[in-house]
Structure 1
Amino acid sequence: MTEAVRDNAKKERPEFRNIHVTDLMNYRLPLAGIVSILHRVSGALMFLLLPFVLYLLQESLRSEYTFANFMIIASHPIAKLVMLALIWGYTQHFCAGVRHLVMDAHIGLDKDSARKSASVVLVITVIVTALVALKLFGVF
């Protein structure tokens, strides 16, 4: 190969070394990457809200009066949204965790299987969260 052709080939290929903050909107993760990030986000959400949940559990078990106060707080729409976020976090973390455990057993590691299992995790999470939301907000 001549040097002119080699230089021309190098100029045509883009070179990506690092992703800058301004490039994040143009970068597209595969579905499995999105599920992996959501797994981490849901785990962090549950971990950070664990002291609050344990405090509410303690207060609800303390007496009948504190349980009545807890029920009043839990009936507020903002509290229901927080509970729904926790339910989404648990469902997402559980389903993605099962997916990761299956993949640790060397099942479904090829690209198509990983894409299908990631979409199954997202579909199950959305369905379960929607059903709980309908029950939580009194639709059925």
Structure 2
Amino acid sequence: MELSEQNVNKQRPVYLDLQQIQFPATAIASILHRVSGVILFVSLAVLLWLFATSLESAAGFQTVTDLLNSLFAKLVFWGILTAMAYHLCGGIRHLLMDLGYFEDSMESGNNSARVAFALTAVLSVLAGIWLW
């Protein structure tokens, strides 16, 4: 395929500094919703393994209990619960947008994203209180 002179002479950025770009709250909300979905997908395998191990025998149950009582496991479980809370809040936000809400202006979309962030923060703190 032959390149035209018009395409070759276009001014393109040589270096794109992502730290200088200010993403709107809606873009951050969308990216985090995808990230939380991936976290939940990966954590599902770990949670199913823990569940299966706990049901195998009394020794397996004790192993899982001892593992979940460690600080590291509580932090991981808290992260999973936080990802689940965000994915739920972000999913409800997306469903409301599919129904036509928060689409009339960029400001309403940003506000709905901020509400999802705030609800996630509250749910994350409640999950932390519940775990510890």
- When normalised by structure 2's length, the TM-score is 0.85
Specify which of 59, 70, 83 is matched with residue 76 of structure 1.
Answer: 70
Tell me the amino acid that sits aligned with residue 91 of structure 1: A
Change (3 A) 1:18 1:40: farther
Aligned length: 121
Q: State the distance in 2 between where 1:49 and 1:19 align.
A: 39
Aligned twin of 1:93:
87
Query: Relative to structure 1, is the Cα distance of residues 136 and 104 closer, same or farther in structure 2, using a 3 angstrom cutoff?
Result: same
Alignment of 1:38-49 (within 5 A): 38-49=32-43
Report if the CA contact (8 A) 2:82-2:127 is conserved. Answer: no
Equivalent position SS for 1:26 = coil
Partner of 2:107: 112
User: How far, CA to CA, are the matches of 2:60 and 2:14 in structure 1?
Assistant: 51
Q: How does 1:6-85 map to 2 (within 5 A)?
A: 17=12, 20-21=15-16, 23-85=17-79
TM-score, with normalisation over the residues of structure 1?
0.80
Larger Rg: 1
Q: CA deviation at 1:65?
A: 2.1
Unmatched runs of 5 consecutive residues or more in structure 2: 1-10
Match of 1:8 in 2: none
Give me the CA root mean square deviation.
1.6
Report the identity percentage.
Answer: 33
Tell me: CA distance 1:88–1:19, structure 2 relative to 1, closer, same or farther (3 Å).
farther
Q: Quote the Cα distance in structure 2 between the aligned partners of 1:136 and 1:60.
A: 19
In the TM superposition, residue 19 of structure 1 has moved relative to its aligned partner by: 8.2
- The DSSP-based 3-state class of the residue aligned with 2:102 is coil
Could you tell me how far apart the structure 2 residues matched to 1:86 and 1:36 are?
18
Q: 2:131 aligns with which of 123, 129, 136?
A: 136
In the superposition, relative to structure 1, how do residues 81 and 94 fare at CA in structure 2: closer, same or farther (>3 Å)? same
Deviation at 1:111?
1.6
What corresponds to 2:119 in structure 1? 124
